[in-house]
A and B are shown apart, each in its own frame.
Chain A
Amino acid sequence: MAEQPTSLERFIQGILPENPVFRQLLGLCPVLAVTNNMKSAITMAGAVLFVLFCANVIVSLIRNLLKPHLRIVIFTLTIATFVTIADRFLAAYLYQMSKTLGPYIPLIIVNCIIICRCEVCASKQGVITAGADAIGTSIGFGLALSAIAAVREILGTGMFFEIRVLPAAWPDWVVMVLPPGAFLTFGLLIGLVNWYESFRTAKAGRTQGQTT
């Protein structure tokens, strides 16, 4: 059996090198939908953190009992339960935000990130590693959401976390908070991350000498 990554490695990988949004291109629905402003983005990232952490921990605890045929059903059941809990919790204590996020909280159930992490990490490794993986991935997810939300909110409304940061003379680029702006921002940021990665690996290749 190949050597499996440690908790720390899982944690760090999730943040940038294997960022679920920009590198793996998973879970794209909330990335475009809730990044109108920073508040929604942070709330969504928090909800995903809760669901991913709980799901990973539970799946990791029962990993030895899982059989090939029914494991996807078990993953789905676990994730759906925790998403329901997160959704009801938001409706009780953050009612306005729950109404703004609308159907996108329940859509965490079909978010590829969570099923992927359960499949790849939690069903194979211990609780601590699964937990670390969950936290690392969620931080990476949160960073990606915040990056897009920051661009869209600042350019689209001149505000950041609903505090005015651009001068009043700035003509709000309303398209940024509408669907086209979401796609464009996301596409440009993927391009940027890809360019940075190729730049970084090219530099690493040069400093290490001839590496294939």
Chain B
Amino acid sequence: MTANVKTSFFSQAWLVLILAICFGALLAGMQIALGPTIEANKTNETLGRVPELVFGKDRAQELIERKQTVAINPQSVGVEKAGKTLRYSVFETRTDGELAGWVVKTAGQGYADKIEMLIGLDPNIEKITGIFVLDQKETPGLGNKIVTHEWRSQFLAKATDKPLVTVKGKASAANEIDAITGATISSKAVTDTINATVNNLRKPLVDKAKGK
């Protein structure tokens, strides 16, 4: 009985092996064919947003039409905080060799889960030139609205000298942001993340700008 099972097992195993080899080859071929496209998708997700965040939509469009090259240099900036090193992914943007701005990829705890975003900053970290939400799992219809263009456009040209504050009514002072009705926590999460990130990166990036 055991001998039968053994022989039949091996006589069947050849099919599994042949199939495994065929499928392996198929998958390897697919990896070679599609790998570059997928990598490009991943990097373009962030890189593609950088011109718009640094220059604003209109000027970025203008640069594309004039075929001006925008050099984007991804870097990793470490910040010492409470004994730990926080690493930020920073995109240094230059046109014609001159520093045009920074884009920082950062994340913060939102209402439901982490909110990942890109923050555009001017060369001296004095103004916010735009934000873009990469990933969020906030409540659809409420916290979800942080991705909308109208809400995000509030952050354009906001100064970074004072921390941003969310208000429930109409935003009046220069550092106030109108919170989304019914989604105060998500709105606060975004402003808090921006405040923390700008605070952490102000010195290193200003030093980098001067050092270059």
Contact = CB atoms under 8 A, between A and B. Distances in A.
Interface string B2-43: 000000110111011001100100110011001001100110
Interface in A69-115: 69-70, 73-74, 77-78, 81, 84-85, 88-89, 91-93, 95, 99
B21 to A, nearest CB: 11
A137 interface: no
Contact of A157 (B42, B45, B141): B141
Nearest to B20: A77
Contacts of B30: 84-85, 88
Interface residues of A, number: 27
Nearest to A176: B140
Nearest to A62: B15
A49 to B, nearest CB: 19
B161 to A, nearest CB: 36
Nearest to A36: B140
Contacts of B45: 95
Given A88-B34, A89-B34, A172-B141, A77 B19 contact: yes
Contacts of B37: 92-93
A178 B142 CA distance: 12
A174 interface: yes
B34 A74 contact: no
B139 interface: yes
A205 B207 CA distance: 85
Q: Looking at chain B's contact residues, is the secondary structure mostly helix, strand, loop, or mixed? A: helix
A177 interface: yes
Contact of A85 (B27, B41, B42): B27
Given A77-B16, A91-B38, A157 B31 contact: no
Given A65-B15, A95-B41, A88 B23 contact: no
A206 interface: no
Contacts of B31: 88
A157 B9 CA distance: 55
Contact of B38 (A70, A78, A88): A88
A85 B25 CA distance: 12
15 contacts: A65-B15, A67-B11, A67-B15, A69-B12, A81-B26, A84-B30, A88-B30, A91-B38, A92-B34, A92-B37, A95-B41, A95-B42, A174-B139, A174-B140, A174-B142
Interface of B: 8-9, 11-13, 15-16, 19-20, 23, 26-27, 30-31, 34, 37-38, 41-42, 45, 135, 139-142
Closest 7 pairs between A and B when the two form their complex, measured CB to CB: A92-B37, A81-B23, A67-B12, A95-B41, A92-B34, A174-B141, A177-B140
